[in-house]
Amino acid sequence: MIVVEGRTDREKLIELLQLPEQTHLEFKAELDLTAKDHELNFVKDAVSMSNRPPGGYILVGVNDDGTLALPTGTIADRTRFDGARLGDMIRKYVEGEVHAISQIHEVDGREVVLIYLPHHRDGLPVPMSKLGQFPGPNNKQVVVFREGDVLVREGARNTPLRHAHWNDLLSLRDQQLREQARAQVDSLIADLAAAMRAGGPGPALVPLSVEMADDAFGETVVSHLEADSDVRLRQFLGQAAALAGIPDERRAAVDKITIVAAHAMYFERNAVAVKAIDSLFDAYTTLGHGEAATQLDIITRVYVLGSLAVRLRQWSVVHSLVLRPYPPSSDTYVYSSWIRHGQVEASRADLFPTGKGGMMISAARVLMSEQPAMRPDVPDSAVADPGDLAHDDVLFNSLCQFDILYCLIVAAEGQHHGSGYPAASAMNQDRANPAFEIVATDADARAALFPASDARKIAEAMTEVFSSAERESLGFGGHWWSLPRAAQQFVSTQL
């Protein structure tokens, strides 16, 4: 599973290097842009990648098996890989816009060019506008593409557009058209909900509906919370959990449950928040074997809520999110946390490499950046644009911290099988350190996170989880080194 989000930072590169070539990811051992054959084949790859929603990545300096190919210093002129120059080169051969965003990184003494190709903003594939050919053996012209060709990425290769591609290619455009068609109605709903709130207490409330746009739905949830209309919220949550069992309704229902939970947490309506989390778990339990992608979607939303709980310092909510055994009743293998079950099922379904769950963190951040209703505490102005991931990115960092807390809680208080996998080990340790520090230094937080564990048990869990994260980080460049000082002092005092 590729999370295509526009980032080109080093942590994104490390994430992509764990994956094989596929529809949205291409490896090139080398690329000499001064050679016509290399240029034309790159243009073909870039356009094909861009034509397949939502776009994808090309990594230059990576062999087909994922190993690094170019020693540092191999690329003599790095300016040739500037995103603007790449975009200009591509646009010489196409009708329409194709952009490129790039960065060069050094990993283990090797250099890699990470190039992001976004899908066209109008949602339509871009045709080639001229013949692309170069002189081959015996000066015979080798044709790479022709004027009018429409090329798309399929698996690890480029292919001419076929009828079977249209549904996928037009999915983004269809979504844009639906959003445009609903925009005015949803704006009116949001304005109506806001006006009712401003008008003071009263029985009139906008009905809650799974079909509402997320922003309008969020505004409506707030109006119900302000009116203390828990009955309607609870009724909606029960209905949404039931709709989650219907494939065509599932995504919208799960998103709406997540939005109710997020707003209830933000406004400290604990009873509603717990009910919403229960509904999300109920939706998860309706899924069966072979539905790993949907299970992963729900666990990604658990990470969204977990990161919010971290930012709000609602430690008991973190515990409630994590420690839900799955399956809830079974005489066979039971996971201590549904999070780990979702990770394992996703790995078995090849949604990401075996044991590597880091993509949930990236996927959850993309979801939050696109859905303001799922982050009521963080305004749009505080959400960075795609590209480099800042060291102080509040959404990403709180996701990494929730991930570590999940592992610590399972290690200390899990009563069944399946230890937590520290997905944050793929990221810089600085992002996750506050999770260790809060456990070590805040007795109230520690009591809420680990209500059934003494300090010694928590210290043992901290040592176990950090050792696992440090070991796993070696596969991502080794950016974990030692527990932060406060955590070291806590461990040495208790053990």
Averaged pLDDT score across all residues of the chain: 88
25-28 and 101-107 strand pairing: unpaired
Question: How far is Cα 453 from Cα 192, in angstroms, rounded to an integer?
Answer: 48
What pTM did the predictor assign? 0.85
Distance of CA 33 to the CA centre of its chain: 33
The confidence score (pLDDT) of residue 60 equals 94
The confidence score (pLDDT) of residue 265 equals 97
Q: Are 119 and 155 in contact (CB under 8 A)?
A: no
Q: Which domains does the chain have, with CATH numbers?
A: 10-169 (3.30.950.30), 173-286 (no CATH), 291-495 (no CATH)
> If we measure between CA atoms, which residue out of 70, 59, 55, 71 comes closest to residue 20?
59
Residue 201 pLDDT exceeds 60? no
Q: How far is CA 432 from CA 8, 200, 239, 428, in A?
A: 21, 43, 37, 8
In tens, the pLDDT along 238-284 reads 999 999 888 888 899 999 999 999 999 999 999 999 999 999 999 99
More confident residue, 134 or 187: 134
Tell me phi and psi for residue 28, to 5 degrees. Answer: -130, 125
Confidence of residue 167 (pLDDT cuts 50, 70, 90): confident
Q: Are 292 and 346 in contact (CB under 8 A)?
A: yes
Q: Which two tokens stand for residue 381?
A: 């102005």
Confidence of residue 184 (pLDDT cuts 50, 70, 90): low
In tens, the pLDDT along 420-436 reads 889 999 889 999 999 99
DSSP 47-96: HHHHHSTTEEEEEETB-TTS-B--BTT--S-GGGG-HHHHHHHHHTTBSS
Cβ neighbours, 10 Å, residue 475: 15
> If we measure between CA atoms, which residue out of 473, 457, 326 comes closest to residue 400?
473
Q: Which helix (H) or strand (E) holds 479?
A: none
Length, in residues, of the chain: 495
The confidence score (pLDDT) of residue 248 equals 83
For 407, residues 6+ apart whose C-beta sits below 8 A from its C-beta are: 419, 420, 421, 422, 465, 468, 469
Residue 187 pLDDT exceeds 80? no
Q: Which two tokens stand for residue 70?
A: 């170019």
In tens, the pLDDT along 32-81 reads 999 999 999 999 999 999 988 889 999 999 999 888 999 999 998 999 99
Residue 165 pLDDT exceeds 90? no
The confidence score (pLDDT) of residue 245 equals 83
Question: How far is Cα 415 from Cα 225, in angstroms, rounded to an integer?
Answer: 35
Residue 331 is classified by DSSP as: S
Distance of CA 62 to the CA centre of its chain: 23
